[in-house]
Amino acid sequence: MANYKIEAGTAQHIGNRTLQQDRVALYTAAGAPGYVMALLADAGGGGGVIAADQVLLTGKHLLDEFRPGEAPGTVRLQALLRQIAAEAHQIIRMNPIAAASEPQAAMVVLLLTPLGQALWAHVGDARLYQFSGAQCVQRSNDDAYVAHLIEVDQLPAEAARRHRATRALSNVLGHGLKPPFVTVGSHQGLRPGDSFLLCSDGLWQYFADGELAAVLARNTPRLAAELLINKAIERAKGKGDNCSMAIVKLVAPPDAEAIAGQKNTRVP
């Protein structure tokens, strides 16, 4: 069993937009005790809220249906995360509004297990960061998708690197021309001091990796979120996008023996 406890929270700010289209949530499931899911959807397109809402609905539904069994392996757990992306994409495309407004969403999802595992999947420009103390261990990026465009779609390297500027090549859920490309990752042996940040581009574009790591290491999830949002607003200079995040920190549990000793101490 895990030797840590989880502190987590979500936060959002509308930025300088007229509508908050991002969605973010933390979930647990009765059928999978000890499993925690963080899920963020960064919406776009004419009906982006539809896409973002659907990502959260699909994620919650599939987590509620999940039965882990004895000790599910990495492949099975990552398949669950891939399924969230695939089913959300299909349902978004089936929505009658999709034909006219083309709702789309980037997605990042994190799953923690009671066996000290972390698994994640992402589509598009929403990001996941993994920190160890005040160090950034890794983060999601577009490298795998760019390689896919070059190797599978036979796209010239320079065009592949510019895919964000080309709508037809955008990697999102709800795309009418191509299914989403899902990148997955995992980490074994979680311990106190590890933390994760899921966020939309309305946040990460304003920070270096080390800045994010330092803020999470020194603060509770709630205070870290407040500090990051305030600094993002400042750096955006009136041009900020929707800003959303989920923060998950692993901290050392209280020392059971010390607590017991305190309870047994009698004040004269």
Domains identified in the chain and CATH numbers: 5-254 (3.60.40.10)
What is the rounded distance in angstroms from the CA atom of residue 264 to the CA atom of residue 122? 49
The residue written with tokens 């001091």 in the block is 193
Strand boundaries in 69-182, DSSP class E? 104-112, 117-123, 127-132, 135-139
The tens digit of pLDDT for each residue in 84-117 reads 999 999 999 998 876 677 899 999 999 999 999 9
Given this model, what pLDDT does residue 173 score? 95
The tens digit of pLDDT for each residue in 187-237 reads 999 999 999 999 999 999 999 999 999 999 999 999 999 999 999 999 999
The tens digit of pLDDT for each residue in 1-25 reads 678 999 999 999 999 999 999 999 9
Q: Tabulate helix, strand, coil % of the chain (nearest 5).
A: 40, 25, 35
What is the rounded distance in angstroms from the CA atom of residue 197 to the CA atom of residue 11? 11
The tens digit of pLDDT for each residue in 25-64 reads 999 998 999 999 999 999 976 666 899 999 999 999 999 9
